[in-house]
Amino acid sequence: MSNALADVEWDACVLEPHRDRELEAYVRRGFGTVPSSVAYFAPVPWVVRAMAEMSPAGSPLLHVDSVLADLVGLVVSQDNSCRYCFGVQRLLLRVHGVPDARIAKLEQGFLDAEIDPRAKAGLDFARRLSRAAPPASASDTQALRAAGWSSDAIRELAFHSVFTVYMNRLMTIAAIPFGPVEGLADFWPIRVLAPVMRLASRRRERRALARAAQLPPERARGPWAYLVAGLEGLSSARALRETLDAALASPVLPRRAKALIFAVVARGLDDPLAAREAGALLEETGLSPNETEPILTHLGSPQLDAIENALVPFARGTIRGRPLQLQQRTRGLLDVLSPEQIIEAVAVSALANAVARLGVVTQV
Amino acid sequence: MPIEWAVALALAAAAALSAALWLRARRANTLARTRLAAASAELERLEHAFARFAPMELVERVIASGVPTHGERKEVTVLFADLVGFTPLSESVDPSALVRILNGYFERMSRAITAHQGHISTLIGDGILALFGALEANPWQTNDAARAALAMRAELAAYNAELAGEGLPKLALGIGLHRGTGIAGLVGSPELMQFTVVGTVVSVAARVQTLTREHGVDILVTSDVQRALDPRFAVRALPPRALKGLSEPVATFALLPQ
């Protein structure tokens, strides 16, 4: 079965797959399987853990129906032209029993796909968050309320939407091969196996719900605390806190280089709150606001080292663009960065793109 | 023939007719569904294709509820490019060769502009009006536009080498860059409409481009552009010149090779 992204150009992956059995066992506990992408990110474990912890498998959805969550994944992935994630979402929709004809209609534009107004409002909001042109605001959340969405459901939907943005950026910027996923999505026995897979998935969801712990208030502090606070009461608060802490604590790239990535993306997406957080991180690493400003205005400085001077324009390129463009920029990092550093640069850029789109949770 | 046979025959004929009608209706439905799906897929493709020329939200608004008539004030950087000496060239070269030369030129210039986050708003004869920061807010629009202008210079040099190899005349380019506020929106008639920016910012860029001949340079930027530019760009200040429609002389800077 052909799909709506079949014509999207995709470069060869610059990363080599690695097996890490411990990490695979951890991922299998959450997803029931090990996605082919895991091997490419395995050398930097926090990246794989973030995928698992921020996904509905690690942060169970209590207020957004799982089929609607998959639809959000489908439309956002299609909008971002992420062939890998689009394949995953088509597979999930088939596992959830959505007929092929309906999936095809959704791919062709959900306006025509007999979706109820509440779900339609949710999908519109998800796309708006993903596009961020202009960034989503209180008027968008008011539109959701008018369509019958509760505050908790809006915050959960926002997090799930930006988690999809994170996954889209991760897979696209790294050019993770999509062949195995697309093949599986179109594999006909999936329909036959779907009921068994649904049962197993529900069992995992129940286990995840039982496991899901609230974030203790003392742990909510730290960079981007306003976002963690905005997700209070949802399991995604803990996942976001742990992911941000792990990303910043990782020794693969210098902390200042990562703070610069966050700052560039926040500037590009015009998010003053995310920019303030990134600015505070940069100050911690010794860059004053006066020193930071010209770097962010012109995307480079003689004050930066070779890695930072490569990462600053790279981060800007991850905000928007076609997959092939993004992937060619990643290829350009090979001269300056090690494979592990490339993985972390891709993941931090993906995370920066997620957090700078999530500010709307403070306005719900 | 007994009456039972006649009834049975009539029932069989009715059943056969119903089956034939049902099959026909099913075929028609399948065909209609296939056509609808193809049309929807085409619409989706068009929507994404149009997003290269107008903001995606605007494209969706046009599809959902027609052409909006309001504009939006936006900070943009305008690049206006024109071929120097094109009129005499068009009179001396065979028309089919001229069209081929022009198309090759536009293809290369378009590549240089889109690679630096710009989009071509209009082609006016051999002229190009390109916008930076019009589709989406772009805090780096002026550096992008300057890089695009430098990339256009490099592309033209490579293209001229190709043209010389074919015994065709070389092309020369004049580019004007200006930054300011303009009104962005869908402009035109019902038959021909385009997303563009209107206002002084566009006319200044176009007029600065004409100054390239006077100053004997290929890329000129205004002081509004120069102030926003990365200091790592090398520029040379040129004497101010009066421009049509502006009360004060305009200071310009030549953008030098990096």
Burial class of residue A313 (count of CB atoms within 10 Å of its CB; 0-12, 13-18, 19+): middle
Q: Is residue B88 part of a domain?
A: yes
Total number of domains in chain B: 2
Q: Is residue B131 part of a domain?
A: yes
Domains A21-212 and A225-363 share a fold: yes
Strands B127-132 and B118-124: antiparallel
Q: Do A105 and B44 touch (CB under 8 A)?
A: no
Q: Which residues of A touch B44 (CB under 8 A)?
A: 4, 107-109
* Separation of alpha carbons A214 and A225, rounded Å: 15
**pLDDT (mean) for A351-360:** 97
pLDDT band at A240 (very low <50, low <70, confident <90, very high): very high
The most confident of the ranges A95-104, A188-197, A244-253, B44-53 is: A244-253
pTM for the full predicted model: 0.86
Q: Is residue B122 part of a domain?
A: yes
Q: Is residue B136 part of a domain?
A: yes
Q: Do A107 and B44 touch (CB under 8 A)?
A: yes
Q: Do B55 and A299 touch (CB under 8 A)?
A: no
Task: Indicate whether B221 and B135 sit together in one domain.
Answer: yes
Report the pLDDT value the prediction gives residue B223, as an integer from 0 to 100.
96
Kindly report, residue by residue over A256-307, the tens digit of the pLDDT. Answer: 999 999 999 999 999 999 999 999 999 999 999 999 999 999 999 999 999 9
* Separation of alpha carbons B40 and A209, rounded Å: 39
Kindly report, residue by residue over B142-173, the tens digit of the pLDDT. Answer: 999 999 999 999 999 999 999 999 999 999 99
Q: Which residues of A touch B (CB under 8 A)?
A: 4, 104-105, 107-109, 111-112, 131, 133-134, 267-268, 270, 297-300, 316, 320
For B112, the domain range is: 68-255
Which member of B44, B137, B139 has the closest CB to residue A4? Answer: B44
**pLDDT (mean) for A76-103:** 89
Q: Is residue B60 part of a domain?
A: no
Report the pLDDT value the prediction gives residue B64, as an integer from 0 to 100.
63
Q: Is residue B125 part of a domain?
A: yes
Task: Indicate whether B100 and B5 sit together in one domain.
Answer: no
Task: Indicate whether B7 and B112 sit together in one domain.
Answer: no
Residue A198 has pLDDT above 60, yes or no: yes
Task: Indicate whether B206 and B171 sit together in one domain.
Answer: yes
Q: What is the mean pLDDT of chain B?
A: 88
Note whether A95 and A33 are within 8 A (CB). Answer: no
The domain ranges of chain A are: 21-212, 225-363
Q: Do B40 and A133 touch (CB under 8 A)?
A: no
Task: Indicate whether B107 and B224 sit together in one domain.
Answer: yes
Q: Distance of alpha carbon B126 from its chain centroid, rounded?
A: 14
- CATH class as words, domain A225-363: mainly alpha
Report the pLDDT value the prediction gives residue B18, as an integer from 0 to 100.
87
pLDDT band at A5 (very low <50, low <70, confident <90, very high): confident
**pLDDT (mean) for A221-238:** 93
Q: Provide the terminal-to-terminal Cα distance of chain A, rounded to the nearest Å.
A: 40
Note whether B78 and B154 are within 8 A (CB). Answer: no
Kindly report, residue by residue over A307-345, the tens digit of the pLDDT. Answer: 999 999 999 999 988 899 999 999 999 999 999 999 999
Q: How many CA atoms lie within 13 A of B136 on its CB side?
A: 18
Interface probe for B, chosen from A105, A111, A298 (most Cβ of B below 10 Å), is A298
DSSP designation for B13 = H
Note whether A346 and A173 are within 8 A (CB). Answer: yes
Q: Do A316 and B64 touch (CB under 8 A)?
A: no
Burial class of residue A123 (count of CB atoms within 10 Å of its CB; 0-12, 13-18, 19+): buried
Report the pLDDT value the prediction gives residue A229, as an integer from 0 to 100.
94
Residue A197 has pLDDT above 90, yes or no: no
Q: Which CATH architecture has domain A21-212?
A: Up-down Bundle (1.20)
Q: Is residue B95 part of a domain?
A: yes
Task: Indicate whether B109 and B216 sit together in one domain.
Answer: yes
**Percent of the residues in chain B that have a pLDDT greater than 70, as a whole number:** 85
Give kind and range of the element (H or E) at residue B23: helix B3-50
Q: Is residue B58 part of a domain?
A: no
**Percent of the residues in chain A that have a pLDDT greater than 70, as a whole number:** 97
pLDDT band at A2 (very low <50, low <70, confident <90, very high): low
Task: Indicate whether B117 and B34 sit together in one domain.
Answer: no
CATH of the domain at B171: 3.30.70.1230
